[in-house]
Amino acid sequence: MGTEVPVPSHGTTTYNSNNTSQRENEARKQKTVDDWLPITSSRNAKWWYSAFHNVTAMVGAGVLSLPYAMSELGWGPGISVLILSWIITLYTLWQMVEMHEMVPGKRFDRYHELGQHAFGEKLGLWIVVPQQLIVEVGVNIVYMVTGGTSLQKFHDVVCPSCKHLKLTYFIMIFASVHFVLSQLPNFHSISGVSLAAAVMSLSYSTIAWGASVDKGKQSGVEYGYKASSTAGTVFNFFSALGDVAFAYAGHNVVLEIQATIPSTPENPSKKPMWRGVIIAYIVVALCYFPVALIGYWAFGNSISDNILITLEKPRWLIAMANMMVVVHVIGSYQIYAMPVFDMIETVLVKKLHFPPSITLRLIARSTYVALTMFIAITFPFFGGLLGFFGGFAFAPTTYFLPCIMWLAIYKPRRFSISWITNWICIFLGICLMILSPIGGLRQIIIKAKDYKFYS
């Protein structure tokens, strides 16, 4: 009973070779899928691609609401929050660029892959993916509203005597562009759109603060808080924190942008990526600080939640600026949609075993664009949405999640500079995450009182 049947040695060889060929087949299949997925299909970007992709991702429509945020924060707190946010987010962005290739021979091409390395396979996914999706889908919805609003403003400025059209139609016009652009396969293929968007963001920001300087300080301008009650002032303050958080939201796509840059042991991707980030952050400062401070100086607390709406003349310049916003938001939408497309297509191909094809891409991406368009048409409360999304999801992924990962992976010595800096960022980020959605939600509720659906 205990006797063993001798196994011929050549069978082992066959078994081993079968095993090897199976592994090779799996690896080949995996490579085919990776070469098809939008994030990993192209790795020949230069450092300047990183610069304009980051500008496009960061300098969004949020810059136009910064003077309004200043009016709810006041001079002292407003300037402090702007500068602090700029420093903290540059620091956390540096951490993410450093962590992209901290394991020799491996690249964390997606935010959730880094999360999985820091927190474990399952927990990492659950911590990162929901937050990243809220940010990216949230930005896409807000940009649908922004694109539609700017198109409507352009139409009204250029042709004041024309028939007034509902915002719904303009959001649909804006969305129609994305049904086409969303079929571009990867980050590399949208670099032209992204470059145009980055140039536009610098241009309309310059128009916004230049036109404010030209108008000068308005007569009877007031810098006090607008709200009549203390509660109103506090809630507005919280909401404004969310507006600022929204303005610094580029971290959600930074690893995905870095994934497009080639890397060797001698020349790791972090060097060109960091060079691009520095240029991007200089452009961010040139856009944000003048718009926020000069806009608030010129109009005080009578500023609207989009400075281009407050600036009504010269008409041709404001029409041009609104069109620039449209072009910029087209590029931004694509930058934020690309990681979502990557997630959707990964699930469809790797989990549900659909074969990679143009048809699959067409259906999946068009469905996503249609969904964001539908939500934007249903809830177009621009200012409130910024505050709500800004705190709820942007604060974690931008202000403190990179710090938590850094502490989990590198384990800096207790009370060392790195340890203290990260904990300060985590504390400030958590405060932002808790406070700003409260203000944003209140604004949405106030605006929703007299709002009619699809009006």
Confidence band for 344, pLDDT divided at 50, 70 and 90:
very high
Confidence band for 17, pLDDT divided at 50, 70 and 90:
low
For 220-272, write each residue's pLDDT tens digit.
777 778 777 888 888 888 878 877 877 777 788 888 888 888 888 888 888 99
pLDDT of residue 341: 93
Confidence band for 9, pLDDT divided at 50, 70 and 90:
very low
Q: How far apart are CA 132 and CA 367, in angstroms?
A: 19
Q: In terms of C-beta density within 10 A (0-12 exposed, 13-18 middle, 19 or more buried), how is residue 261 classed? A: buried
Q: Domain locations in the chain? A: 41-449
pLDDT of residue 310: 73
Kindly state the percentage of the chain with pLDDT values over 90: 22
The answer to whether the beta carbons of residues 325 and 240 sit under 8 Å apart is no
Q: CA-CA distances (angstroms) from residue 206 to 112, 201, 212, 304, 312? A: 36, 8, 10, 18, 16
Q: CA-CA distances (angstroms) from residue 117 to 53, 106, 108, 113, 122? A: 25, 11, 9, 6, 10
pLDDT of residue 3: 47
Chain center to CA of 224: 32
The answer to whether the beta carbons of residues 422 and 406 sit under 8 Å apart is yes
Kindly state the percentage of the chain with pLDDT values over 70: 90
Domain 41-449 -> CATH class: mainly alpha
Mean pLDDT for 137-145 is 87
Q: CA-CA distances (angstroms) from residue 385 to 54, 150, 339, 436, 441? A: 22, 16, 21, 11, 8
Q: In terms of C-beta density within 10 A (0-12 exposed, 13-18 middle, 19 or more buried), how is residue 440 classed? A: buried
Exposure string of 266-279, with b = 16+ CB inside 10 Å and e = fewer, is: eebbbebbbebbbb
Mean pLDDT for 404-415 is 91
pLDDT of residue 452: 65
For 25-81, write each residue's pLDDT tens digit.
777 777 777 778 887 777 777 888 888 888 888 876 678 888 888 888 888 889 998
